[in-house]
Structure 1
Amino acid sequence: MVQHSALNDGFIHYGTKETKRSEKGKRIGDAFLPQGILAYQEMSAREEDYQLAQVMSKSLDLKIKTPYPPSLQNIKKSKLTIILNSTEYEVIKCDPDRARNYLYFYLQEVGVFEQG
């Protein structure tokens, strides 16, 4: 019998960031390019998760579980930006479960999301 997980904590928006430049080529900011929305469940982080983040000179602020959509299978997840409740997160690490039904995102908070 297949066990289904309730991903009912809300929804995340995921996408990439693109550098915006002036007409003269000077960097003037970043633009969020949305790629999709996923339901999520907040997970408890283990001590090993915090140690991994520390080794990478990052801080683990949130660990979430989402479905693993086919659209994300050939994308480098560490390049994604996650928006959750108007807060922007950087992906520290992303692991699939053994059956490749779910993704576990390890996130570091960047700050308040401002669409620019």
Structure 2
Amino acid sequence: MKSIRKTYNDGYLQYGQTETGRSETGKRIGNVFVEEGRLAYSEQSCREQDYQMADVMSRSLDMKVKTPLPPNYRSFSRKRVKVSGVTFDVIKVDADRSNDELYLYLQEVGS
């Protein structure tokens, strides 16, 4: 039996949260992305039903990626992802536990 190796060769994404940056006096100076980890990813094509799902949620779907399931995976709710320096909100996550993969539906921050 030949083993099938999955490839995630489109690059690496960073996932984490955005926190409020503060100066030494406690004044708000902006948002800071705090990285919690990195994952290799493979960009996927978006289907019509993916766009409809985002539309129902009053969001826009800008990118869909497939990643391996991280070992400490709990949830990607309220997470942000950085891909090639561009920050995205995670609007939905589909976990495929049989293949140990995650499908992340992303909306670019500011769009």
Shorter-chain TM-score: which interval? 0.7 to 0.9
Match of 1:103 in 2: 102
**Whole-angstrom CA distance in 2 between matches of 1:92 and 1:7:** 21
Match of 2:59 in 1: 58
Q: Per-residue displacement from partner, 1:38-73 (whole Å, max 9, x unpaired)?
A: 1000001111110010011110000000010122x2
Q: Report deviation, 1:106.
A: 0.2
Q: Report deviation, 1:100.
A: 5.3
Q: Report deviation, 1:3.
A: 3.1
Is the aligned partner of 1:81 residue 2:48? no
**Whole-angstrom CA distance in 1 between matches of 2:100 and 2:64:** 17
Match of 1:32 in 2: 33
Q: Which amino acid aligns with 1:4?
A: R
**Whole-angstrom CA distance in 1 between matches of 2:46 and 2:97:** 18
| TM-score calculated relative to the size of structure 2 | 0.86
Q: Report deviation, 1:27.
A: 4.2
Match of 2:92 in 1: 93
Match of 1:114 in 2: none
Runs of at least 5 residues in structure 2 that lack an aligned partner in the other structure: none
Q: Give the root-mean-square deviation of aligned CA atoms.
A: 1.8
Runs of at least 5 residues in structure 1 that lack an aligned partner in the other structure: 112-116
SS, match of residue 52 in structure 1: helix
**Whole-angstrom CA distance in 1 between matches of 2:30 and 2:5:** 41
**Whole-angstrom CA distance in 2 between matches of 1:100 and 1:107:** 21
Q: Percent identical across equivalent pairs?
A: 50
Structure with the higher fraction of residues in helix conformation: 1
**Whole-angstrom CA distance in 2 between matches of 1:69 and 1:47:** 28
**How many residue pairs were aligned?**
108
